[in-house]
Amino acid sequence: MNRPFFKDDCFYMEHALAQAQKALKSDEVPIGAVVVCPKGKIISRGYNKVAQKGCQIEHAEMTAIKKACKKLGDWRLEGCWIYVTLEPCSMCFSFIKLSRMAGVVYGADSPLFGYHLDKDAGLRLYNRNALEIVRGVCEKRSVSLLKQFFKKKRNKG
């Protein structure tokens, strides 16, 4: 994990959590993400907008990566990392791999939708380039946001 210009993981996850808060305020499942360039700077942000925009392409990671590509003018995000509050699903995980990112840092595990569903089954999603994965960063705060959301939903229902 060679990230000489990076601040610690909590610093970036704070920004991802701020994005998740935005989702929560919009009555969306609170998930947020930021992309960090090799020099350690946050270059893009995204939060879940699936309900609002009516499309599964609106996951936090998809938006953040799309914006990062636009900013750098390249689909190859070599050396970039993504910080996301929840374990990415297979779609987002594949997008991260396709975009040739260096690593993923995530907060809470996603037992029902996480990419590890496939990893457990022997994931080989574009594994020719190695992707580093760090889990459990600010996990409790991510889980707390999710719980807030689902509690509110249950009370409404």
Q: Which residues of the chain form contacts with its own copies (CB under 8 A)?
A: 50, 54-57, 62, 65-66, 69-70, 73-75, 89-91, 94-95, 98-99, 113, 117-118, 120-126
Instruction: Please name the residue that has the structure tokens 């609002």.
Output: 52
Please say which residue, 65 or 102, places its beta carbon nearer to its own copies. Answer: 65
Which is catalytic among the residues 28, 58, 61, 139?
61
Q: 14 catalytic, yes or no?
A: no
In the complex with its own copies, which residue's Cβ is closer, 58 or 139? Answer: 58
The distance of closest approach from Cβ of residue 14 to its own copies in the complex, given in angstroms and rounded to an integer, is: 26
Q: Of 11 and 75, which has the nearer Cβ to its own copies?
A: 75
Q: Are 145 and 13 in contact (CB under 8 A)?
A: no
> Other CB atoms closer than 10 Å to residue 129's CB: what's the count?
11
Q: State the Rg of the chain over Cα.
A: 15
30 contacts 145 by C-beta, under 8 angstroms = yes
Rounded to the nearest 5 percent, the helix, strand and coil shares of the chain are 45, 20, 40
Beta carbon of residue 72, minimum distance to its own copies (angstroms, whole number):
8
Annotated catalytic residues are 61
